[in-house]
């Protein structure tokens, strides 16, 4: 049964309270704002102890309990913490973000309101060649003239599109139709409400090096907010999920072979992976390559 020895109070984190309403800039015109939150580390512990019973108080302290819950994937207590965040972001980032279907979202309506004349123009360093190893991402630098041509074209197209948008509105074209001319570099915004368990999943994907740089910038700012509200839970998340390394059954087999003195190529071959192609060139992706990358992470600690 729940502890009814005293009156219930709303958990509050003074540091988080001071962040409510504060814009945290991201990209050229974007930001994240903590609108409200519910719960904190204590709320996670409270929910867990209702589930496990009073006896756990003498077994683990709060930090130890939170770390135990995360290690053993007892996720429900983390759902007791929620965040309501206002996000202003380019449409092309929003289209990636909305794939996470575990939050409540209410977006700015371009059918009802006029879209502001604000679009994302990436820095020269952000415009790079298509990656050879990550089919979704960027790789090596491009020639400066190519970078500047792209940025100039984007700037020109965005300005021309907004001019066409304004003319369409002036001619009486409905807002829901006129918005069609605007490119995905333009900004939208939404209220985003999510619990901590689902936020962990969002952050684990969007803080990853394979995620697009722009959405990683938003994820990093949201991680700061989450760390302020629930620092012990975020510490455990970073320990076990962000910095932890999972090994599949095949990877464990390969690791055992390495410990027995086999070479990396032999260990990978024994696990069913070839590190080279039929023509002898090294593979740039695949399970074997990913396994060796995990070993490099461990060596670099």
What pLDDT score does 49 carry? Answer: 83
Residue whose pair of structure tokens reads 């012990």 in the numeric block: 232
How does residue 54 score in pLDDT terms, banded at 50, 70 and 90?
Answer: low
User: Yes or no: is domain 14-112+186-242 CATH 3.40.640.10?
Assistant: no
Give the pLDDT score at 209: 87
What is the reported pTM? 0.88
243 vs 220 pLDDT, higher one: 220
Q: Is the pLDDT of residue 52 over 90?
A: no
User: Which tens digits make up the pLDDT trace of 57-70?
Assistant: 544 588 999 999 99
For the chain, domain boundaries = 14-112+186-242, 124-181, 249-299
Which tokens sit at 232?
A: 């012990």
253-280 pLDDT tens trace: 999 999 999 998 899 999 999 888 888 8
Q: Which value, to the nearest 10 degrees, does the dihedral of the CA atoms of residues 222, 15, 227, 78 take?
A: -100
Encode the chain in three state secondary structure: CCCCCCCCCCCCCHHHHCCECCEEEECCCEEEEEEEEECCHHHHHHHHHHHHCHHHHHCCCHHHHHHHHHHCCCCHHHHHCEEEEEEEEEHHHHHHHCCCCCCEEEECCCCCCCCCCCECCCCHHHCEEECCCCCCCEEEECCHHHHHHHHHHHHHHHHHHHHHHHHHHHCCCCHHHHHHHCCCCEEEEEEEEEEHHHHHHHHHHHCCCCCCHHHHHHHHHHHHHHHHHCHHHHHHHHHHHHCCCCCCHHHHHHHHHHHCCCCHHHHHHHCCCCCECCCCCECCCCHHHHHHHHHHHHHCC
For 11, half-sphere exposure in the C-beta direction (CA atoms, 13 angstrom radius) is: 17
What whole-number distance in Å separates Cα of residue 106 and Cα of residue 170? 28
pLDDT in tens, 3-47: 555 567 777 899 999 999 999 999 999 999 999 999 999 999 988
Residue 43 has which token pair?
């709320």
pLDDT tens for 75-129 read 999 999 999 999 999 999 999 999 988 999 999 998 899 999 999 999 999 999 9
Among all residues, which ones are annotated catalytic? 206
pLDDT at 51: 60
Task: Please give the Cα distance from 23 to 27 (Å, whole number).
Answer: 12
Residue 190: strand pairing partners: 87, 107
Residue 50 scores a pLDDT above 80:
no
């Amino acid at each position: 049964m729940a502890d009814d020895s005293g009156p219930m109070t709303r958990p509050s984190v003074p540091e988080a309270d001071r962040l409510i309403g504060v814009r945290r800039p991201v990209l050229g015109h974007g930001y994240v704002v903590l609108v409200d939150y519910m719960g904190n580390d204590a709320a996670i512990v409270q929910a867990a102890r209702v589930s496990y019973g009073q006896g756990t108080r003498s077994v683990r302290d709060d930090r130890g309990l939170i770390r135990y819950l995360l290690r053993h994937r007892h996720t429900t207590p983390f759902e007791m913490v929620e965040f309501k965040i206002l996000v202003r972001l380019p449409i092309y980032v929003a289209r990636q973000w909305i794939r996470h279907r575990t939050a409540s979202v209410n977006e700015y309506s371009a059918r009802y309101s006029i879209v502001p004349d604000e679009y994302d123009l990436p820095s020269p360093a952000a415009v790079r060649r298509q990656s050879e190893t990550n089919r979704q991402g960027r790789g090596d630098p491009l020639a400066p003239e190519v970078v500047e041509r792209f940025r100039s074209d984007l700037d020109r197209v965005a300005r021309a599109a907004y001019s066409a948008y304004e003319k369409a509105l002036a001619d009486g074209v409905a807002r829901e139709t006129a918005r069609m001319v605007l490119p995905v570099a333009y900004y939208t915004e939404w209220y985003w409400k999510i619990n901590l368990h689902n936020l962990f999943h969002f952050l684990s994907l969007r803080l990853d090096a394979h995620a697009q740089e722009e959405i990683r910038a938003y994820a990093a700012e949201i991680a700061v907010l989450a760390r302020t509200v629930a620092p012990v839970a975020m510490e455990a998340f970073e320990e076990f999920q962000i910095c932890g390394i999972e090994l599949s059954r095949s990877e464990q087999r390969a690791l055992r072979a390495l410990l027995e003195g086999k070479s990396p190529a032999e260990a990978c071959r024994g696990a069913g992976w070839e590190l080279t192609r039929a023509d002898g060139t090294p593979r740039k992706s695949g399970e074997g390559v990913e396994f060796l990358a995990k070993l490099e992470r461990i060596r670099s600690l």
